[in-house]
Chain A
């Protein structure tokens, strides 16, 4: 690192960090540093060797490494500084400057000053203990992402007889991957009555290989002293409680868990960034600025996405906003602020609040619904009793993030400081 003060520091060089840095550069910043903890750029995409990335953004199907490669190519020669193998361990927020504490074998311990920070640290996997599966604690229980790293990056086999808990996309992808490498995947088990992954992955990762998917089932016990030997699977009732008498047993040496991702916000919290309990990510405004001035967030650290294409778009917006913050200074006149509140039918929204004056033509709002909506339904925004906007959808599911564009003119009609969003079945 040559400079000790930057306009912008981006923490993380996965898809979010790469796109954010490039966008900030395009929007006029010249002194940008990207800090990556791994030894190379690309983040989790490097181990996502399957295809299916980029249809929205590039209009073609790419593998994870190819998708990352497109951004890494652009970064070369862009003048953006990059350090890899470097961990940010602390973030301080001041009035004019933010201080990033980073450490590496090469550069030692550094306190780097910058005007703006973009948080792009991604997420981590929920573990067996977060969902409290009882039993013994042998080897052979892997988070799907950890397994993916061993198999795809290290070239190591992690087991021969596998059961998968959770039908999230990583779990489905690993079911196929393990099968192709010669393992036997006995089943994929999902607690909820619907899959958390994309339909296409259920078809091409499970159906193609005759791997059964059991909905409303879960693993209730793990046995095996040193390596996994057997698991108990049980059906669950509508309250997700195991139903006695439904026990089935699987002789497996490996359990893969794909039971959810959690935005990784320890650094954010330390810097005083307000965290939204619904997303486990920062509470952000329309321009992806967090509750802390000059700190922006994008990608899976903000909320867990199902498509990397949306991460890219979101991160470009964060890069643009961070550039504006550095070049134009902090907002002086905040004006009308509306908080977006979720009714029980909506799990969360991003952003969580909007400064109406800052919205140019329209505001894009990402949201997730709390259950499958198979009938035609509406995403409805209300200010008190007044419907501000209504968006029709034929089908919605928790596993598939929705997004809507609310025009500025409609936001201007909001009188109060709360905008409520809910899902309502269409009238026949």
Chain B
């Protein structure tokens, strides 16, 4: 049995996951929590947020995120992919910056509009 704190929402439920019983989850208050509890032991994933460089004196950086969770072990390799990105405004929320992050199928997308 493993105890976890659910990170799906700010409520932070205390979950119990039974590895010996098909990863059965207890202590959750919603379906998402149950899924999280299972995944966290089998293949933990996270959304990654960071920034990328922008050709602009006013806004030298633009925030980005992965549009879906990626495997935890891919976080640092994913970060490295952002180092070489340089955007030129105008930039729109949702613009894809990096496709298929580290083979995860997720993309890094821009999270704010930046005008020239």
Q: Report if A and B touch in the complex (beta carbons < 8 A).
A: yes
Closest B residue, CB atoms, query A153: B61
Tell me if A133 is interfacial: C-beta within 8 Å of chain B. Answer: no
* 14-63 of chain B: CB within 8 A of chain A: 46-51, 53, 58-61, 63
Q: When the two chains form the complex, which single residue of A49, A69, A155 contacts B49, counting CB atoms closer than 8 Å?
A: A49
Tell me if A241 is interfacial: C-beta within 8 Å of chain B. Answer: no
Given contacts A49-B63, A180-B50, contact A200 B5 (CB under 8 A): yes
B4 to chain A, nearest CB (A): 8
What size tier do the contact residues of chain B reach?
Answer: 20 to 34
A208 to B59, CA, bound (A): 30
Q: Which of A65, A66, A307 has the most CB of B within 10 A?
A: A65
Q: When the two chains form the complex, which single residue of A63, A200, A306, A307 contacts B63, counting CB atoms closer than 8 Å?
A: A63
Given contacts A55-B9, A69-B93, contact A180 B75 (CB under 8 A): yes
User: Are B12 and A199 within 8 A (Cβ)?
Assistant: yes
* 12-65 of chain A: CB within 8 A of chain B: 39, 46, 49-52, 55, 61, 63-65
A153 to B75, CA, bound (A): 21
User: Are A204 and B93 within 8 A (Cβ)?
Assistant: no
Interface contacts (Cβ under 8 Å), in number, total 75
Tell me if A82 is interfacial: C-beta within 8 Å of chain B. Answer: no
Q: Which residues of A contact B49 (CB under 8 A)?
A: 49-51, 63
A91 to B21, CA, bound (A): 64
Closest B residue, CB atoms, query A63: B111
Given contacts A49-B49, A63-B49, contact A307 B10 (CB under 8 A): yes
User: Are A66 and B10 within 8 A (Cβ)?
Assistant: no
Q: Which residues of B contact A400 (CB under 8 A)?
A: 10
Closest B residue, CB atoms, query A55: B9
Tell me if A152 is interfacial: C-beta within 8 Å of chain B. Answer: yes
Tell me if A388 is interfacial: C-beta within 8 Å of chain B. Answer: no
B52 to chain A, nearest CB (A): 9
Q: Which residues of B contact A153 (CB under 8 A)?
A: 59-61
User: Are A152 and B63 within 8 A (Cβ)?
Assistant: yes
Closest B residue, CB atoms, query A169: B10
User: Could you show 13 A-B contacts with beta carbons less than 8 Å apart?
Assistant: A49-B49, A49-B50, A49-B63, A49-B111, A50-B49, A51-B47, A61-B47, A63-B111, A65-B93, A153-B61, A154-B60, A180-B48, A180-B50
